Amino acid sequence: MKEISIVSKFSVYNSTSELPNDIQDLMEKAIGIRKKAYAPYSKFRVGTALLLDNGEIVLGSNQENAAYPSGLCAERVAIFQAGAIYPDSKIIKMAITAASDTNKTIAPIPPCGACRQSIAEYETRQESPIEIYFMGESGEIFKSASLKNLLPLMFDKKFL
């Protein structure tokens, strides 16, 4: 038997004012769309903004449904919309923010497992990493240079 060690590396920003200007703008768009999320059941609102290589910004917010799990997370709403509208464009950067209607979220909130797998599919498809920035409603922002930091042993098409 042997052991392996997998290390993930993140950059940490103390507030949105420390972010590069283009990421501040992307995060502000994510915050704006987060406020429009349809989350009557969980009261947990998530917003995502994607920057594509063609300069377009695609937004997504979580959309819940009384028949769980028929809703969809903000990250997948945005990714699938980008894939449908701009199928030949690459996702360069992604900003994610989450807030609760019932308590303050100050820790960075990463994508869920299903969203990580969807992001992995697009990173594999486009053969280039997606920078991912994520935060709560305030506080620190984590930056990952690639989805591989969040899902280091990712399942992709090479296993099929």
State residue 27 phi and psi, 5-degree precision.
-65, -40
Select which of 18, 28, 56, 75 is catalytic.
75
| C-beta separation of 60 from 77 below 8 A | yes
Q: Is 39 annotated as a binding residue?
A: no
Locate all alpha helices (DSSP H) within the chain, ordered by sequence. Answer: 21-34, 74-85, 113-126
Q: Is 115 annotated as a binding residue?
A: yes
> Is 131 an active-site residue?
no
Q: Is 103 annotated as a binding residue?
A: no
Of 64, 65, 66, 95, the C-alpha closest to 78 is 95
Q: Is 14 exposed, middle or buried (0-12, 13-18, 19+ CB in 10 A)?
A: exposed
Distance CA 113, CA 97 (A): 16
Q: Is 49 annotated as a binding residue?
A: no
Q: Is 81 annotated as a binding residue?
A: no
Of 36, 53, 43, 47, the C-alpha closest to 133 is 47
Q: Is 63 annotated as a binding residue?
A: yes
Distance CA 108, CA 98 (A): 8
Q: Is 149 annotated as a binding residue?
A: no
Q: Is 14 annotated as a binding residue?
A: no
Known binding positions = 62-68, 73, 112, 115
Active site amino acids:
75
Residues tagged in the binding site annotation for Zn(2+): 73, 112, 115
Question: Annotated binding site for substrate, which residues?
Answer: 62-68
